[in-house]
Amino acid sequence: MNNVKKLFLLLFIALVTIKVFSQTSTIIESLNIYGGVTVERINESIEGQTWLKMIEYFDNQNNIVKVIFTSTQAIIEERGIIEQTNFYRNNVIERYDILFSIDFFKRHDYNRVVEIVGSNNTIIETIWYRNNQILDRIRYPDDPNRFQFYSVDYIGNMFFDAYRSGPPPTGDVAQISYRYVSIRSVIRFDSIIVDLDDTDMQIIQHLLRRFDASEMSSLYSKKVRVYSENNYYWLFLQTQLIEFVLGQEATVRYYPIGWNGELYMLCVGFTNIM
């Protein structure tokens, strides 16, 4: 296995170790679209289990083609995974397709992940979806956890709530999160680009000092409003990215900072959503 942690696959990877005495197996198709049988397995005792139901599809050579896992309620509540499908070619895993709950989607902006498996059972690509619309993708060895997906409103509310619950301010309050360091969110750009003012530069420099990268502030010269469904926030833009901001929807990668309870975002890059 590669050194990059799989996002979700560990949930079901230990299938071979699952106790089978508490399962009920039924052949639900004697001839499926792959030319073989389809077997449904039900966990009668779900305590300590990750899946409630599993459906296996075989071809006419009795090779496994596809396995669909339906999660237990505990896993849905804990990880947001409602269903995972494993696809095989010649009995070797080829792709994982994972679906997430509505509550998970509201927090993380995506409700489906596809992970492509290469040789030696290593993940070589991860693709995030909103239904069937691609939001972003990475190819390994890039780290999928470096910019974690969160709704921009979730991040904004987190900074606002922390500011509101803190002591009465005596001046400007900068907020840095040690948990939400680097984020990616789905937004829509405004089409109007605005010059940075002195306060903006102060915010940028405060954030970059965290990474011992104050000299990088010279890369930023503009800002643009970005919109969620109900709110807007300011995104600081690198000069080289300005020409690509055209009012489109995009998945933006950024470093967040709270300033007097409001979220500001230091853009690292973005992927247009088609």
Rounded to two decimals, what is the model's pTM?
A: 0.86
pLDDT tens-digit readout, 193-251: 999 999 999 999 999 998 999 999 999 999 999 999 889 999 999 999 999 999 999 99
pLDDT attached to residue 53: 94
Nearest to 109 by CA among 48, 151, 71: 151
- Is 217 found in the same domain as 131? no
Residue-wise burial string across 115-138, b where 16 or more C-beta atoms lie within 10 A, e elsewhere:
bbbeeeeebebbbbbeeeebbbbe
Q: What is the mean pLDDT of residues 65-78?
A: 95
Residue that terminates a domain, selected from 116, 143, 170: 143
Asked if the model's pLDDT at residue 268 lies above 50, the reply is yes
pLDDT tens-digit readout, 251-262: 999 999 999 999
Q: What is the mean pLDDT of residues 14-36?
A: 75
Per-chain mean pLDDT for the chain: 90
Range of the domain at 77: 9-143
3-state helix, strand, coil in the chain (%, to 5): 25, 45, 30
- Is 237 found in the same domain as 198? yes
pLDDT attached to residue 166: 84
- Is 262 found in the same domain as 190? yes
Q: What is the mean pLDDT of residues 102-109?
A: 97
In a domain, 3, yes or no: no
Number of domains in the chain: 2
Question: What is the percent of the chain where pLDDT is above 70?
Answer: 92
Asked if the model's pLDDT at residue 2 lies above 80, the reply is no
pLDDT tens-digit readout, 131-190: 999 999 999 877 877 899 999 999 999 999 999 888 888 889 999 998 999 999 999 999
Q: Distance between CA 189 and CA 107 in Å, rounded?
A: 20
